[in-house]
């Protein structure tokens, strides 16, 4: 006890006075730490592959007007589409905008015919909204035409209706539901959200 800081001795004595047994003190302190951390931030785990897939689907099916570049990314859902671009954190003051975006996206995914779409390319191409897009439409069983594809372009592969891909639909809805549950908790605690991509 003599090597403990004064505040540690105070906490130790307080826990004993509350009826915590000496051999349970470390467990109780860990639980207290977790409780306090959750008050300041809500941690969410999301599969990065399906988060990105959701953004691709949203862009292609709902936002896209310019078919040659990524100019329209964030046109309808700016808060969701850019939420974790620069940081793994979502500040409390930004949560309500992301929430309203997600709620609308969820409604549209359930009401409309939406195609499963996946964008791929070098990371730097996604930083430039003028990057060219090369489409591969699997619905028409088109093959990649290497002569037409530009060297520095983003590939957009269009599959069938999302409803045809049961597992992907479940995973994408799970991303939305996980984010909405985290937002609900963060709103109650007036805290930020930290996303952990797995």
The mean pLDDT of 30-58, rounded to a whole number, is 92
Terminal alpha carbon distance of the chain: 41
Nearest to 99 by CA among 171, 198, 193: 193
Three-state secondary structure call for residue 18: coil
pLDDT of residue 60: 97
How much is the pLDDT for 147?
46
Phi and psi angles of residue 83, each rounded to the nearest 5 degrees, phi first: -55, -45
What is the pLDDT confidence band of residue 193, given thresholds at 50, 70 and 90? very high
Mean pLDDT of 16-28: 93
Is residue 165 within 8 A of residue 116, CB to CB? The reply is yes
Owner of token pair 């730097």? 124
What is the pLDDT at residue 118?
A: 96
Q: Is the pLDDT of residue 35 over 60?
A: yes
Separation in Å, CA 61 to CA 52, 115, 150, 178, 181: 14, 7, 23, 22, 25
pLDDT at 145: 54
pTM for the whole thing? Answer: 0.82
pLDDT digits (tens, 9 = 90+) for 127-179: 999 999 998 888 866 555 554 666 789 999 999 999 999 999 999 999 999 99
Instruction: Give residue 64's region: left, alpha or beta (phi > 0; psi -120 to 50).
Output: beta
**Residue 124 · residue 154 · CB < 8 Å:** no
Q: What's the pLDDT at 142? A: 57
The DSSP secondary structure of 71-120, one letter per residue, reads TTTTSS-HHHHHTTSS-SEE-HHHHHHHHHHHHHHHHHHHHS--EEEEEE
Pairing of the two strands 132-137 and 153-161: parallel
Name the residue with higher pLDDT: 49 or 112: 49
CA-to-CA distance for 89 and 83, rounded, in angstroms? 8
Q: Is the pLDDT of residue 86 over 90?
A: no
Per the prediction, the chain carries an average pLDDT of 91
Q: What is the mean pLDDT of residues 88-116?
A: 95
Tell me, what's the pLDDT at 198?
94
**CA dist., res. 98 & res. 83, Å (int):** 7
Supply the pLDDT for residue 144: 53
pLDDT for position 1: 63
Report the alpha-carbon distance of residue 161 to residue 192 in Å, rounded. Answer: 35
Task: Give the pLDDT mean for 99-120.
Answer: 95
């Amino acid at each position: 006890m003599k090597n403990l800081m004064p505040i540690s001795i105070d906490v130790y004595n307080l826990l004993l006075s509350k009826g915590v047994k000496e051999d349970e003190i470390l467990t109780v302190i860990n639980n207290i730490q977790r409780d306090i951390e959750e008050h300041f931030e809500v941690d969410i785990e999301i599969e990065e592959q399906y988060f990105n897939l959701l953004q691709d689907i949203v862009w292609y099916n709902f936002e896209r007007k310019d078919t040659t570049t990524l100019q329209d990314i964030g046109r309808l859902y700016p808060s969701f589409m850019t939420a974790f671009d620069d940081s793994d954190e979502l500040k409390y003051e930004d949560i309500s905008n992301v929430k309203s975006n997600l709620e609308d996206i969820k409604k549209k995914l359930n009401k409309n015919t939406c195609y499963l779409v996946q964008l791929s390319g070098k990371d730097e191409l996604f930083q430039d909204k003028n990057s060219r897009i090369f489409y591969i439409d699997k619905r028409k069983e088109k093959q990649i035409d290497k002569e037409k594809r530009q060297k520095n372009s983003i590939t957009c592969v269009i599959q069938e209706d999302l409803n045809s891909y049961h597992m992907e639909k479940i995973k994408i809805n799970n991303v939305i539901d996980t984010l909405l549950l985290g937002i609900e908790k963060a709103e109650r605690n007036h805290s930020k959200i930290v996303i952990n991509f797995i």
